[in-house]
């Protein structure tokens, strides 16, 4: 996979010229978010790259619950009645589609062009742990407060799912380079994939990069 040529960025960071290109191992999601640090006689380059093989959000995540899409093969009312009879809390989910998709608990978001771009998608069934917490809150705080908490918790999960669906899953990449007589040589690459959302991915990347150092003489 071809990456980005960050030669000019590195030259500015080290205060000297390179004698050859410096191309990242993976494609850079946004050059504006590239982090470059001097570390003694080496250069660290941190960046985000879109995950080419993101995991299945629901299948590979424990404790999130289940999002079940309504289909023609199953009467939604039968499903909801069955869940209610079992004492299982559930929430209807709608999808806003306008270039990208966003999922949320039905009628809890002020989407623009709701008449055309929003449709009922399915039902969200919380995981067992959240169900227990919900029931405890019903006893302690009442149905209305407990439901408000459940909606907020569910919308948080659906927001993460929306980012995943829209391709906002990244690898946080840190490459170590050595500059030998002006020639950049990559010594190694550490990649941690599966970060959902740009903000979370950048936070994870920043934690793996050293603090900004004071300017030093050119290599």
- Show pLDDT as tens, one digit a residue, over the chain (219 residues): 456 678 888 888 878 888 878 889 999 998 888 999 987 778 999 999 999 999 999 886 667 899 999 998 889 999 999 999 999 999 999 999 998 999 999 999 988 888 889 999 999 999 999 999 999 999 999 999 999 999 999 999 999 999 999 999 999 999 999 988 888 999 999 999 999 999 999 999 999 987 754 444 444
* pTM of this prediction exceeds 0.85: no
What is the model's pLDDT at position 22?
85
Q: Which residues make Cβ contacts (< 8 Å) with residue 29, sequence separation at least 6? A: 47, 48, 49, 50, 170
CATH architecture of the domain formed by 7-53+168-207? Roll (3.10)
What is the model's pLDDT at position 173?
97
Q: Write the DSSP symbol of residue 19.
A: S
Distances (CA, A) of 77 to 84, 87, 88, 119, 123: 10, 15, 14, 17, 11
Domain boundaries, the chain: 7-53+168-207, 66-165
What is the model's pLDDT at position 213?
47
């Amino acid at each position: 996979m071809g990456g980005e040529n960050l030669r000019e960025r590195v030259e500015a960071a080290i205060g000297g010229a390179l004698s050859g290109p410096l191309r990242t191992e993976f494609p850079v999601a946004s050059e504006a978010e590239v982090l470059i640090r001097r570390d003694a006689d080496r250069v660290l380059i941190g960046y985000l790259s879109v995950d080419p093989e993101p995991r299945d959000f629901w299948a590979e995540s424990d404790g999130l619950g289940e999002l079940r899409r309504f289909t023609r093969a199953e009467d939604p009312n039968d499903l909801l009645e069955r869940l209610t009879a079992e004492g299982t809390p559930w929430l209807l989910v709608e999808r806003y589609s306008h270039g990208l998709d966003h999922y949320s608990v039905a009628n809890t978001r002020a989407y623009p062009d709701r008449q055309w771009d929003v449709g009922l998608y399915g039902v969200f069934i919380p995981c067992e742990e959240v169900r227990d917490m919900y029931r405890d809150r019903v006893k302690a705080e009442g149905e209305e407060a407990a439901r408000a908490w459940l909606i907020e918790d569910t919308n948080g999960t659906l927001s993460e799912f929306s980012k995943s669906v829209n391709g906002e899953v990244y690898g946080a990449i840190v490459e170590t380079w050595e500059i030998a007589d002006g020639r950049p040589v990559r010594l190694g690459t550490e990649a941690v994939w599966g970060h959902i959302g740009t903000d979370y991915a950048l936070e994870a990347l920043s934690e793996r990069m050293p603090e900004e150092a004071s300017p030093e003489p050119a290599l």
